[in-house]
Structure 1
Amino acid sequence: MTTTDTDEVEVLVVGAGPVGLTLACALADNDVRVRIVDKLEHWSPLSKAMTLTPRTLECFHMLGVAAECLRTGIMSRRINHYTQRGRVIGVADLAELDGEYPGLLQLSQGDTTGILDRAAADRGLTVERGRALTDIDVEGDSHRCHLRDTDGRARTVTARFVVGADGGRSRVREIVGAAFDGAEQDETFIMADVEMRGFPYHAHERHQFWLDEGTFLAVLPINGRMFRLVSTCRVATAEVDAEFVLRRFREVLRAVGLDAVTLGDPYWVSRFNPRQFIAESFRSGGIFLVGDAAHVQSPIGAQGLNTGIQDSIDLAWKLAVVLRAKAGDALLDSYHGERFPVAQALFDYNNMLSERVFGRNRWRRSRLRSQNKRLNRRAYHAAEIAKLSQFAVAYPAPTGSVPRSRVVPGRRMPTCALTSASGPFDLLRELGARRHVILAFAGAHDTVESLVGPALERYRERLGDHAFRAYTVHERVSAGQLFDMPAGPHALIDIAGRCRANLDLQLRDVVVIRPDGYVGAVADAESLSALDDFLDRLFVGQPNSVSRR
């Protein structure tokens, strides 16, 4: 029996893991009519991918779920690197990051999924579980999606856009016929989430031992009593069972001088050959790929899930601007244009880490391992934690733009502490993956109209009142002093100009921040052309678009 759903939705999300749920929540916050389906009747409770980067936590902050993640997981500020004999080589200290989340959060993927599932329910979304996508018929701008329930009942749903968040064996990717190129490594990875007693190092930090034989031991905290152990071996995966994994970890613990450590019964054991594959395109007309459907990453860098979540945040606001403001087709093309290079760069980074850990060329492996010593050098340390945090992820800057401050188009907006009349200003929540924000750093007698008046009207006309908001930033010694307090709900206070100075901006500079927290444009009140150019780029390819020029 086939049932046809009469309600046409704007976006159908296929796959309800963390990546698909992130996308569904962000779309709902943009007032997009969205449905989300998953072929499984319940998500896996297993730990799986359990590292969330600071950049991902910022994305979760935008959706209002970061606080619950922090309550449930363990934040590791430091990654400690040791020789096989336990001598400290170097320490990556994420406390030096400028954001609200100076560490890597260990949180079970099952817990992450549960938190996002509840967030979706709070937005009125019901995940349609036990419902698999079988095919898609494309009819112009419409997609007729064929679904099959676990009881065999078939149904169809019509959607303007379809997004495949359905993992490495993506049915959506298969339907569009996107090539999925890559390779599987020979080395066998082993993991165990296990109780460990007698571990002498800090239980909330991450620890990595580099063994002379060409492997490593990583120890990641789960709850102070349970830990995840990660290592490699040169035994075929088919010959590795749970008993072998635990025996191997006992051998590795002895090799690094931790003979007194005892292991309890494991909660989860895994062994696999790492794979790295990437789709040739993340977009096919009105069909998009996110997360593992677009790129399967080696777990060695612990950034695969994070990259998928950030795919969803990038795509969500762009779909919304196209649906709500009728932005141009080029904006949808920019999803692949921005996110494909990010995934490709992560491949290269993971390959380098693999050679550092277990490369067969002993000379090259030794040379790469020696880089850990550079963590003691300030510039190298800063670059390394920028990669680990994913704050280093950047998109192409507009042609001809010249960086003149720490605020650079195409890069993450640095953290800045601003205050409103009612208390601290939460920029991430204000953005919320749904709204552009303009910050105009005012002089003594400036208003938002005097600084960005002409551009303000264009932004309001093109994006709508709900999709952007403009603030003036005023410098005062105290936010509590009522005398000559800047008026209006969109006036912010920069205490003694510290935020502006930290960002290396000048008075009367204006910054446009995209809904995903990346800088769209930087201008000054004397010339707002950069603001106009950014807005025009959103609408390139719009039918019947008229240039302002």
Structure 2
Amino acid sequence: MTPGTPGPEVLVAGAGPVGLTTAIELVRRGVRVRIVDRRAQPRTGTRACTVWQRSLEVFDLMGLPIGEYLASGVPYTFRTHHFAGHPPHVRDAAQSGTPYPRPLLIGQQDTVAMLTRHLSSLGVEVERGLTAVPVAQDADGVTVRLETADGAGELTRAGWVVGAQGPHSSVRDAMGAAWEKQHYSGTQLLQVDARWTGSLPGEPSHCHLFLTREGSLGSAPLPDGRHRFYIGVADTGRTGDPEVEEVLEAARRVTGVGDLEFHDARFNWRVRLYNAVAGSYRDGRLLLAGDSAHTLMPVTAQGMNTGIQDAFNLGWKLAAVVRGEAGDTLLDSYGAERRPVALALAERNLRTYWGGTGPVPPFDRLYEALDHMGAGHTGLPLAYPDSPLSGRPDGAAVDGAADVTGPVAGDRVPDAALHAPEGRLFRLIGRGSWNVLAFPADPGDAESAGLAAKELAATVRRAGVTARVVGNAFGGVVGGGAQTLADPDGALRAAFGAQRGAVFLLRPDGYVAFRGGAHDGAALERHLETVLGRAVAAAH
């Protein structure tokens, strides 16, 4: 930072996928950001190599140009399950209702490179070789010591600090947040990226999961022609990165394939498994995201994805607070929404992982359950119905009505085609503001549209809120400060289940914050005041 220039409004500690996502989301919303990382160079290795559908949606909503990124990865097409005593079971990885129906298999270093390039295009460079250690915070900001590897350092000031440093977090230490590890004792995870030969069953382009009495083995194709192998077996007591032969021997034992061979292997490492979730994600002006907030066993490929979605959730909220568009109570919703996600994943990891030690899982029952597996791992069904940001009309039971279709408060917004320059709803939401969509009772009647606009007149006066009345054919402005959005084929109305008319408040991260009837403008206004706090009151 140049002497004499003002300190950052937000200092992001950590330049992995989570820290970079946080910084991008803040910078694109007009926040002055500084991002530092203790490593002199970006971390090497494919590491977290599965990017699930919701994370790809997040990149889309952020406006990232990810065409080249998608092209450089491998689509995750099918997963074949090989359970002891049963024939292979193939499941399609595709999900409907999203512009990204399939996950992406790509090395973490490529995700970091894509995010770093985009942050640089926004005018912010990562400062390397610096560890951020918060010293003290007060009502106006945080004093931080930036330490180099040789122990030298400088003091700086930042309005807020986000810790995205990984499991070993100086920001979490400064917060004094609880960090209790739940060890999965008696087992270990061995991993390697390698080309292979032998009689390993199944289509090589699929992802595979083997469950036998000896443990578990998963594999996934990588862009360079190698495959990631991750093998859960009983702990041998060995330490340090395993030799390739140790990983190969474990793979042969679990799969029963004696002629399996690895070639051109790299990135072989050993993991002793544990989960940990911070007791709090916020202490005043200090916040946690990603592995600093939760370290999850890398057996369900959720750690990086969960962290990216943390960063997206936090970024727009912190930007609104920094820019004076919301009171800082908005940040309380961050931990309220995201910490339960991490706790649920930690519980799921402990419940579903098999590493060749302890009681043997009931393979028959697990195999039968494959046909009933949900899509929770994709991130698409995730909802925040109990969030303080999720509201409904006073005295109404819209969310509980048996005949209500489409999203309700807390649900993810469905992407839909638009008859507008943006082309898709995600492109419109991704501009970064709150949005109100009003569906009049009669989509083809201009008078009905005018009534809907009048209902929203008080709301559209609120800073940063854009209201649009959705109808069949009318265009332009219908009064009350509302814009119109053409929906001539009724696709948007159908996607939102708004056939009888409705009003929706859409959050900047693509979730529904409020659903009410076409005449619930007053209830919507009260909810906005609750959500945005002092800033809304000041906008009167």
User: By the TM > 0.5 criterion, same fold?
Assistant: yes
Mark the CA change 1:237 to 1:405 in structure 2 (over 3 Å): closer, same or farther. farther
Mark the CA change 1:543 to 1:523 in structure 2 (over 3 Å): closer, same or farther. closer
1:345-384 correspondence runs (5 A): 345-354=344-353, 356=354, 358=356, 360-362=358-360, 365-366=361-362, 370-376=365-371, 380-381=372-373, 384=374
| Letter in structure 2 aligned against 1:223 | P
Superposed displacement of residue 434, structure 1: 2.3
How many angstroms apart in 1 are the aligned matches of 2:259 and 2:125? 49
Superposed displacement of residue 50, structure 1: 1.2
Superposed displacement of residue 495, structure 1: 5.2
Match of residue 485, structure 2, among 489, 492, 509: 492
Does residue 221 (structure 1) correspond to residue 221 (structure 2)? The answer is yes
Secondary structure at 2:314 match in 1 = helix
- Encode CA deviations 1:237-276: one digit per residue, 9 max, x unaligned: 5357533x53443453475354454310311101111121
Secondary structure at 1:391 match in 2 = coil
How many angstroms apart in 2 are the aligned matches of 1:317 and 1:528? 24
Secondary structure at 2:417 match in 1 = coil
Mark the CA change 1:531 to 1:280 in structure 2 (over 3 Å): closer, same or farther. same
Superposed displacement of residue 37, structure 1: 0.8
- Encode CA deviations 1:185-212: one digit per residue, 9 max, x unaligned: 2211111111123555333321111113
Does residue 156 (structure 1) correspond to residue 155 (structure 2)? The answer is yes
Q: Partner of 2:79 in structure 1?
A: 79
How many angstroms apart in 2 are the aligned matches of 1:40 and 1:440? 49
Q: Partner of 2:175 in structure 1?
A: 176
How many angstroms apart in 2 are the aligned matches of 1:535 and 1:222? 46
How many angstroms apart in 2 are the aligned matches of 1:496 and 1:322? 39
Q: Is the 8 Å Cα contact of residues 91 and 375 (structure 1) preserved in structure 2?
A: no
Superposed displacement of residue 216, structure 1: 1.2
How many angstroms apart in 1 are the aligned matches of 2:201 and 2:55? 30
Does residue 444 (structure 1) correspond to residue 450 (structure 2)? The answer is no
Superposed displacement of residue 7, structure 1: 1.1
1:3-402 correspondence runs (5 A): 6-63=5-62, 64-84=64-84, 87-88=87-88, 90-150=89-149, 153-186=152-185, 187-197=187-197, 201-213=202-214, 215-223=215-223, 225-239=225-239, 241-243=241-243, 245-250=244-249, 252-253=251-252, 256=255, 258-354=257-353, 356=354, 358=356, 360-362=358-360, 365-366=361-362, 370-376=365-371, 380-381=372-373, 384-385=374-375, 387-395=376-384, 396=386, 397-398=390-391, 402=398
Secondary structure at 1:512 match in 2 = strand
Q: Partner of 1:470 in structure 2?
A: 467
How many angstroms apart in 1 are the aligned matches of 2:536 and 2:456? 21
- Encode CA deviations 1:5-45: one digit per residue, 9 max, x unaligned: 64122111111110000000000111111111111111112
Q: Is the 8 Å Cα contact of residues 391 and 513 (structure 2) preserved in structure 1?
A: no
Q: Percent identity?
A: 31
Does residue 458 (structure 1) correspond to residue 459 (structure 2)? The answer is yes
| Letter in structure 1 aligned against 2:511 | Y
Superposed displacement of residue 335, structure 1: 0.9
- Encode CA deviations 1:400-444: one digit per residue, 9 max, x unaligned: 754232211112112322221x4x623223323722222223411
Mark the CA change 1:401 to 1:35 in structure 2 (over 3 Å): closer, same or farther. farther
Secondary structure at 1:375 match in 2 = helix
- CA RMSD in angstroms comes to 2.8
How many angstroms apart in 1 are the aligned matches of 2:538 and 2:423? 36
Q: Partner of 2:430 in structure 1?
A: 432
- Give the number of equivalent residue pairs: 519
Match of residue 514, structure 1, among 487, 504, 507: 507
Q: Is the 8 Å Cα contact of residues 5 and 156 (structure 1) preserved in structure 2?
A: no
Mark the CA change 1:535 to 1:264 in structure 2 (over 3 Å): closer, same or farther. same
How many angstroms apart in 2 are the aligned matches of 1:224 and 1:197? 16
Is the deviation greater in 137-146 or in 432-441? 432-441
How many angstroms apart in 2 are the aligned matches of 1:469 and 1:358? 55
In the alignment, structure 1 segments of 5+ residues that lack a partner are: 476-483
| Letter in structure 2 aligned against 1:44 | R
| Letter in structure 1 aligned against 2:501 | R
Mark the CA change 1:452 to 1:297 in structure 2 (over 3 Å): closer, same or farther. farther
| Letter in structure 1 aligned against 2:519 | E
Greater per-residue helix proportion: 1
Superposed displacement of residue 301, structure 1: 1.5
In the alignment, structure 2 segments of 5+ residues that lack a partner are: none
Q: Is the 8 Å Cα contact of residues 452 and 525 (structure 1) preserved in structure 2?
A: no
Match of residue 528, structure 2, among 510, 526, 535: 535
How many angstroms apart in 2 are the aligned matches of 1:259 and 1:530? 67
Is the deviation greater in 333-342 or in 138-147? 138-147
Q: Is the 8 Å Cα contact of residues 209 and 216 (structure 1) preserved in structure 2?
A: yes
Is the deviation greater in 424-433 or in 486-495? 486-495
| Letter in structure 2 aligned against 1:525 | A
Q: Partner of 1:481 in structure 2?
A: none
